Chain A
C-alpha cells in the first residue's frame, strides 16, 4: 500500500514538474518529413523512429538550454507533391525553425525551392548528389553521396589491379544515380565498363543479364540496387555458377540482405556506412562512440537493429542539436551555426560543413565489408 501511494505521489509530482518546466520555456519546434509509407518506407520508417528516439532522449536529459524539443512529423509517402504540401504546412502552420528530411532525393529536390524561399534550414536524409551540388544556402544533407560509395569500390578494384567490370543496376532513381556515378568515375580509376545492364525493381529473375555478363570479359560484377533485387541476383549468380566476384552497393547494407540471399550472400563485398560494423571498428575510430550509442539506443527502443538509414536521421537531429546548443534560436542563426559544424563524428561519417560544402563527408564515410559466415567482416 505504501509503495503504491508513493508511486502515485511520484506520478503526480512528475506531471506537475513537467508542466512547470514546459511553462518555463516554450519548446523548440522542429519539423520532420519522412516517407513513412509508400515505396521508400524502408528509409522513412527507421528515420522517423530514430528522430523520435533521439528527440525523446534529448528531452529526457533536460532538453537544450532548458528548452524541450518538439518534433512535428509528416509522411511524404515518397510523393513529391505530398512532400511539398507537408513542407509548406510545417513552415506556415507549425512554424518550425528547421526541417529534417525528406527521405528521398526526389522529395528533397521538390521541397528545396520552398525552404529556400521561406528561409528555413533543412537537413535532408537523402543521398542524391544534386541536393547539395550546387550548394543551396538553406539545404544540408547527412546521407553519404553515391559517388563516395562508388569511389570506395573502384579504389579497391584498382588496388587489386582489376580493370574490367560489368555493371548491373536497378532501373529506379537509386540505380540510375549509381549507374551514372559508376560510368563517370570509371576512367579516373583506369576501369573499363565492358557490360552495362539494368533490371526492374520488381523483377524476379536476372539470369539473362548474368548470362550475358558471363559471356563478356568482365572480371567482377558490380550490382547497384536495394532489396530484394540484389538478393535475387546473388542467388541467380550462384545458380549459374558464376565465378566472378560480386560487389553490391550500400543500398543492401543490412542484415536483411543476408537473410534474403542466404548462402548466396557469402563472399559478396559492399561499401557500407560504419554502423553495421560498429563493434569491429578500431578504438581509434572517432565515430565509434556515436555509433555504439546509436546502436544501443535503437536496440532498447525498437528491439531491432539500427541501420544506416536511421543513422541519417540521427545525424540530422544531432547536427541540429549542435547548432541549437551554440545558442541558435532563429532559423537564420541555426543555418549559420550548421554551416560552421566542424568534425562532428556522427553515424554517417565525420561531418564538416562549409559555405562551399553542404554534404560534409569524405570517402572515409564508407568502409568495405565482406559477407562471411552470415556476418560482416571488414575488408582491409
Chain B
C-alpha cells in the first residue's frame, strides 16, 4: 500500500473523529460563553444521547428515526433539569464551586445511567448501511458523511442563531458582561438555561451520530467529554470557527500520531497539546479570529 494512501486514510480518520470532538467542544464553549463556567457534565449528555437512542431502539422497538427524535428532547430535558436543580439554586457561587458541581453532576448522571441501563456496551445500527466508500484509496463509512454533514449543519445553525436571533444576541451579551446585560433587561438566568439546553441538545446529537461507529455505554462520556474540552481549549472557547478547527486539529494529530509515531501516545498527544496551549496561549490558537468574546 502506498504511503500517500495511508496518509489520506490517517487524515480522513482524523477528520471524522475531529468532527465529533468539535461538536462536543461546541457544547463546552456555548455554556462557557454565557455563564463562564466549564460544564464538565457535557460528556454525559453525549452518553445520554447515545444510550437513550439505543434504549428506544432495542427495548421499546422504535424505528431508528423515531428513536433519535425521542432521544434528543429527553437528553435536552436532562440538561435543562440539571441547570434548574444544580446550577440555578446557587446564590453567589464562585466559578470554582459551579465547576465542581458540574463534575459532581456528571458522576451522578453516569451513576444513574449505570443503574438504569447496566454496564454493558451497546451497538446501534448505522443510518445508511455499512458499505465502505472509497475515496482516493482511503475508505470511510456512510456514517462518517452523516457526521460531517450534521456537524456542519449544527455549526451553521449556531452561527445564525447567535448572530441573528434576539435570544442568541442576548446570550452573547451575557458573555460580554453579565451585569450590563441584566441592566438592559436581559434575563440572564433564562439565557443560562438556554445555553444548557442548546449544549445538551448538541451533545446528545453528537452522541447519537457516533454511537453506530463507536458503540455506547454508560461511561463513554468521560473520554469524549475530555477530548471535546481539549478541542474547545485549542479553539479558545469560542463558539465558532475556533472550536471546529480545534476539534479537527486534535483528531488529525491523534490519528497521525497513532499511525506515524506510536499508537501508545495517542491520548498523550491530545493532552500534551492541551497543556501546551494552556501554558503558551491560554487564550486559544485563534484569538484574532474571534475577538467579540471578552
Q: Which A residues from 176 to 222 make CB contacts under 8 A with B?
A: 197-200, 202-205, 207-209, 211-212, 214-215
- Complex contact A208–B258 (CB within 8 A): yes
Pick from A41, A168, A205, A214: contact of B1, CB below 8 A.
A214
- Complex contact B141–A215 (CB within 8 A): no
- Complex contact B123–A205 (CB within 8 A): no
Provide the bound-state CA to CA distance between A204 and B13, in Å: 11
Provide the bound-state CA to CA distance between A68 and B54, in Å: 44
CB-CB nearest in chain A for B263: A197
Instruction: List residues of A whose CB falls within 8 A of some B CB.
Output: 41-42, 45, 168, 171, 197-200, 202-205, 207-209, 211-212, 214-215, 227-228, 231-232, 235, 238-241, 256, 259-263
Among B188-196, B215-223, B276-284, the stretch that binds chain A is B215-223
Chain A interface mostly helix, strand, loop or mixed? Answer: helix
Among B3-11, B34-42, B78-86, B157-165, the stretch that binds chain A is B3-11
CB-CB nearest in chain A for B257: A208
Provide the bound-state CA to CA distance between A211 and B259, in Å: 7
Q: List 18 A-B contacts (CB under 8 A).
A: A41-B119, A199-B263, A202-B219, A202-B220, A203-B267, A205-B17, A205-B213, A205-B214, A207-B9, A208-B14, A208-B254, A209-B258, A211-B10, A212-B258, A228-B214, A228-B215, A240-B9, A241-B139
Pick from B16, B20, B122, B222: contact of A202, CB below 8 A.
B222
Pick from A208, A214, A231, A240: contact of B255, CB below 8 A.
A208
CB-CB nearest in chain B for A42: B119
CB-CB nearest in chain B for A202: B223
Q: Tell me the minimal C-beta distance from B13 to chain A in angstroms.
A: 4
Q: Tell me the minimal C-beta distance from B5 to chain A in angstroms.
A: 9
- Complex contact B215–A207 (CB within 8 A): no
Asked if B224 CB lies within 8 Å of chain A CBs, one says: yes
| Residues of the A chain whose Cβ atoms lie less than 8 Å from the Cβ of B259 | 208-209, 211-212
Pick from A41, A203, A208, A240: contact of B139, CB below 8 A.
A240
> Given the known A-B contacts A203-B266, A204-B214, A231-B215, are A239 and B141 also in contact in the complex, defined by CB atoms under 8 Å?
yes
Q: Tell me the minimal C-beta distance from B285 to chain A in angstroms.
A: 23
Provide the bound-state CA to CA distance between A277 and B140, in Å: 35
CB-CB nearest in chain A for B10: A208
Chain B interface mostly helix, strand, loop or mixed? Answer: helix
CB-CB nearest in chain B for A259: B123
CB-CB nearest in chain A for B12: A207
CB-CB nearest in chain A for B258: A208
Asked if B210 CB lies within 8 Å of chain A CBs, one says: yes
- Complex contact A227–B3 (CB within 8 A): no
Provide the bound-state CA to CA distance between A41 and B264, in Å: 25
Asked if B130 CB lies within 8 Å of chain A CBs, one says: yes
- Complex contact B255–A204 (CB within 8 A): no
CB-CB nearest in chain A for B130: A263
Q: Tell me the minimal C-beta distance from B152 to chain A in angstroms.
A: 19
Given A215-B1, A232-B215, 7 more pairs with CB closer than 8 A: A204-B210, A208-B254, A208-B258, A208-B259, A211-B13, A256-B121, A260-B123
Q: Which B residues from 1 to 51 make CB contacts under 8 A with A?
A: 1, 3, 6, 9-10, 13-14, 16-17, 20
> Given the known A-B contacts A228-B217, A241-B132, are A205 and B16 also in contact in the complex, defined by CB atoms under 8 Å?
yes
Instruction: List residues of B whose CB falls within 8 A of some A CB.
Output: 1, 3, 6, 9-10, 13-14, 16-17, 20, 119-123, 130, 132, 139-141, 210, 213-215, 217, 219-220, 222-224, 254-256, 258-259, 262-264, 266-267
Provide the bound-state CA to CA distance between A198 and B210, in Å: 22
- Complex contact A262–B123 (CB within 8 A): yes
> Given the known A-B contacts A204-B17, A211-B10, A232-B214, are A171 and B123 also in contact in the complex, defined by CB atoms under 8 Å?
no
Q: Tell me the minimal C-beta distance from A76 to chain B in angstroms.
A: 16
| Residues of the B chain whose Cβ atoms lie less than 8 Å from the Cβ of A235 | 213
| Residues of the A chain whose Cβ atoms lie less than 8 Å from the Cβ of B258 | 197, 199, 208-209, 212
| Residues of the B chain whose Cβ atoms lie less than 8 Å from the Cβ of A241 | 132, 139
CB-CB nearest in chain A for B227: A204
Q: Tell me the minimal C-beta distance from A196 to chain B in angstroms.
A: 9
| Residues of the B chain whose Cβ atoms lie less than 8 Å from the Cβ of A209 | 258-259, 263
Provide the bound-state CA to CA distance between A197 and B263, in Å: 6
- Complex contact A231–B264 (CB within 8 A): no
- Complex contact A256–B120 (CB within 8 A): yes
| Residues of the A chain whose Cβ atoms lie less than 8 Å from the Cβ of B222 | 202
Provide the bound-state CA to CA distance between A301 and B194, in Å: 48
Provide the bound-state CA to CA distance between A147 and B205, in Å: 43
Q: Tell me the minimal C-beta distance from A118 to chain B in angstroms.
A: 32
CB-CB nearest in chain A for B114: A37
CB-CB nearest in chain B for A227: B121
- Complex contact B264–A198 (CB within 8 A): yes
Q: Tell me the minimal C-beta distance from A241 to chain B in angstroms.
A: 6
Q: Tell me the minimal C-beta distance from B76 to chain A in angstroms.
A: 23
Provide the bound-state CA to CA distance between A263 and B141, in Å: 14
Q: Tell me the minimal C-beta distance from B242 to chain A in angstroms.
A: 23
CB-CB nearest in chain B for A263: B130
Provide the bound-state CA to CA distance between A353 and B260, in Å: 47
- Complex contact B13–A208 (CB within 8 A): yes
- Complex contact B123–A208 (CB within 8 A): no
Provide the bound-state CA to CA distance between A209 and B139, in Å: 14
Provide the bound-state CA to CA distance between A288 and B41, in Å: 49
Provide the bound-state CA to CA distance between A211 and B257, in Å: 13
| Residues of the B chain whose Cβ atoms lie less than 8 Å from the Cβ of A259 | 123
- Complex contact B132–A231 (CB within 8 A): no
Pick from B20, B123, B140: contact of A239, CB below 8 A.
B140
